[in-house]
Amino acid sequence: MPEANGTTSQAEHCYEEGKRFVELYYQLMDTHKPSLAQFYSDTSQIVWRNHPHQGGAQFLTAVIGKLPSTNHQIRSFDCQPVTAWNVLPPPGTPYNIALQVTGAVTYDNHTIALGFTHSFVLSPRLDHPGKYYISNEMFRLV
């Protein structure tokens, strides 16, 4: 919904960025895991099934690279802008996005789908305006 000044609201922008991220992230997770590297930095902090990892390269090698083939079914996602002290920044100012995803995943063509919850904090890439990277991530089978 446009704001009074004609710009897209931050909540709508956040939703569109979250939707785009969810679609691409899980498509790559299921079809080409090495391409997930584009979403991480050396400072990304990840907790995967209660095991902490520092840095995207380490995480991709230690965890993602060892996963069997996957098929994710996204059931829902929610996101919101994360701002300092709950004060929205001026329009056009980059902000973090908190993203929560729920769904089911099957491994190695098994027929039993396992539920999961996956949380992200997406942070703006200052070297590529308009792009985000995963600064924090938590994944848990439920």
Residue 126 within a domain: yes
Buried b (16+ CB within 10 A) or exposed e, 77-92: bebbbeeeeeeeeeee
Please write the tens of the pLDDT for every residue from 5-53: 444 688 898 999 999 999 999 999 999 999 999 999 999 999 999 999 9
Range of the domain at 128: 10-141
Q: Nearest Cα to 122, choosing from 77, 57, 87?
A: 77
Q: What is the CATH number of the domain that holds 132?
A: 3.10.450.50
Residue 18 within a domain: yes
Residue 55 within a domain: yes
Tell me the C-alpha to C-alpha distance, in Å, between residue 10 and each of 22, 77, 80, 113: 18, 17, 9, 35
Please write the tens of the pLDDT for every residue from 68-114: 999 999 999 999 998 777 776 677 778 899 999 999 999 998 999 99
Q: Would you state the pLDDT for residue 6? A: 41
Residue 1 within a domain: no
Residue 4 within a domain: no
Residue 114 within a domain: yes
Residue 75 within a domain: yes
The Cα 42–Cα 50 span in angstroms is 20
Residue 2 within a domain: no
Total H helices, total E strands in the chain: 2, 6
Number of structural domains (the chain) is 1
How confident is the prediction for the chain on average, in pLDDT? 91
